[in-house]
Structure 1
Amino acid sequence: MALGAGLGLKPQHYEDAYAVVGDGTWFEVHPENYLVDGGPRLTWLEAIRARHPLSLHGVSLSLAADRDPDVVHLQRLKALIERVEPALVSEHLAWSAWGDHYHPDLLPFPRTQDALVRVAANISRSQDTLGRRIAIENPTHYLTIEGHDWSEGDFLREIVRRTGCGLLVDVNNVFVSAHNLSIDPVAYLNAIPSDAVMEIHLAGHSVDTNGALLIDSHDAAIADGVWRLYQCLIDRIGPCPTLIERDGKVPAFDVLLHERQRAQSLLDHGVSMEAMA
């Protein structure tokens, strides 16, 4: 079944998600919350999976780190994949562990030749262990990092070429980064290889205290500028599975369903336009 628009699944919405019937909604979770052998969360996830497609969006493989992905973590992730058979699996182009130190964040890095080799190797190891293709999410940027050998678009394109992975395009990340670094968000999207895009994310952001920096906070409604960028993207690449993310100040389920329906309407319009072409 082709995926349309979906929602990030939060524990407070398990019953609401389970009750959704017949509208094509799918749900995405962070697998780190479900890497267990049993318990109520996993029971709920399996119950919802019996009714709806799932996607697993990882936050801890640390693909840009200086070492291989953790073997134990990968094996647990593989077991969860075999258990719930997700439609999509994704991770971030970032690092959170370096040497013996762990940082609870998704951190950027200079896009050097060495980084390209390291990231590509870690993605390939992950895909080999998991036995499937994964999608890699573009990062959010807050300041200019020196020492890049590659533009981000070329870096992503080369990773795809070397590993066969796909891409997850987070449109809010593009919008926030474009504002913070004073770059053209449409040009950024146009540099992404369209045939590699497996999933799109839409989320809200916030403004820091002095009003100069946008923060990828996932705690607000999707901004109009993000919706416009999303329209530009699907106009170019066609309909693609699209997720509504909300991780803070999570509203009632019906509010998220409304945003999900807006995304689905844009996807449906894209399908109609393609059919007329």
Structure 2
Amino acid sequence: MTPTTLTAGLGLKPQHYDAALSCDQPGLWFEVHPENYLVAGGPRLAWLEAIRARHPVSLHGVSLSLAADAAPDAAHLERLAALAARVEPALVSEHLAWSAWRGTYLPDLLPFARTHAALSRITGNIARTQDALARRIALENPSHYLHMQGHDWDEIDFLHELVRRTGCGLLLDVNNVHVSARNLGFSAEAYIDAFPVDAVMEIHLAGHAQDPRLGPALLIDSHDAPIAPQVWALYERLIARAGPRPTLIERDEQLPPFAELLAERNLAHALLQATSMACA
């Protein structure tokens, strides 16, 4: 199954391995963080290979630190390339962020100023990654929680230029757009309308939460709740413009039963199918 035939997928969680393995839905696929599988063997890798025998998978990285001031760790890239060769993922993606600083790895995806120097640095890191994997990767738009000074580029222009320079694709996380728009005070609809959809290889949908102290004044990309109505509305706006693209339902905390996640997945699948028919 190729990315063009994937519809909606789910993040693969150990609690749901058995249900995922036995699930039989058209267009279904599963996404994992490759960092959990960069091993030579063991039960987790065996489960991933069993899932891969029945369903397409994608690798969604969280630690390449492409926006850092150094190249991605060569040993990590080698292990990632080995995993990709082993499971032959339909898609590979990473975050437009940094998480490593001079040998120290931080448990977060951190922002950066979109400067000309950052553009040059990230372009090089994407090229190194794509060369190591011998494939195109997709970059995810970040979530924002505060205004940052020192930008030379608008975010969408920055993403467009990265695509132009490297040939990479984009992963459009719709929840990130909603969260960032609320936190920074811009129009989520305008962002969706201006996004370079020709480069979109994958879409993410997720839930969010309000900050415990600030409430609705600060939204958190928490991945611990059902997808909000506003995010569904943005998603429908996006696929009406872009056409159907592989779409992942993300849930990382407060995991519900598999059937509840599958219901959200099936809603996204139905929207993609309706969009496909409308575009035919």
Alignment of 1:106-117 (within 5 A): 106-117=109-120
Note if 1:52 corresponds to 2:48.
no
CA distance in structure 1 between the partners assigned to 2:267 and 2:25 by the alignment: 17
Structure 2 residue 177 is matched with structure 1 residue 174: yes
Are positions 1:269 and 2:261 aligned together?
Answer: no
Q: Secondary structure at the match of 2:41?
A: coil
Name which of 172, 180, 202 aligns with 1:199.
Answer: 202
Q: How does 1:1-277 map to 2 (within 5 A)?
A: 1=1, 2-209=5-212, 210-211=214-215, 212-275=217-280
TM-score (norm 2): 0.97
| 3-state SS of 2:100 partner | strand
Query: Match for 1:228: what amino acid?
Result: A
Partner secondary structure for residue 204 of structure 2 = strand
Cα distance in structure 2, aligned partners of 1:163 and 1:36: 29
Once the two structures are TM-superposed, the CA of residue 19 in structure 1 deviates from its matched residue by 0.3
Unaligned runs of 5+ residues in structure 2 are none
CA offsets 1:4-43 (integer angstroms, 9 cap, x no match):
0000000010000000124221000000000000000000
Shift of the alpha carbon at 1:163?
0.3
User: Is the Cα contact below 8 Å between 1:154 and 1:191 reproduced in 2?
Assistant: no
Q: Distance in 1 between matches of 2:150 and 2:35?
A: 32
Amino acid at match of 1:242: T
CA distance in 1, matches of 2:64, 2:112: 15
Alpha carbon RMSD of aligned pairs, Å?
0.7
**Any idea what the Cα deviations from partners look like across 1:141-187, whole Å, max 9, x if unmatched?**
00000010000000000000000000000000000000000000111
**What is the alpha-carbon distance in structure 1 between the residues aligned to residue 150 and residue 40 of structure 2?**
44
**Does the 8 Å CA contact 1:58/1:92 hold for their aligned counterparts?**
yes
After TM superposition, what 4+ stretches of structure 1 lie above 4 angstroms from structure 2? none
What is the rounded CA distance, in whole Å, between the counterparts of 2:37 and 2:201 in structure 1?
A: 23
Distance 1:39 1:93 in 2: 31
| TM-score, length of structure 1 as denominator length | 0.98
For 2:144, give the aligned amino acid. Answer: H
Q: In the alignment, is the contact (CA less than 8 A) between 1:91 and 1:136 conserved in 2?
A: yes
The one-letter amino acid paired with 1:121 is G
- How far the C-alpha of 1:100 sits from its partner, in A, is 3.2
Alignment coverage as a number of residue pairs? 275
5+ residue gaps, structure 1, are none
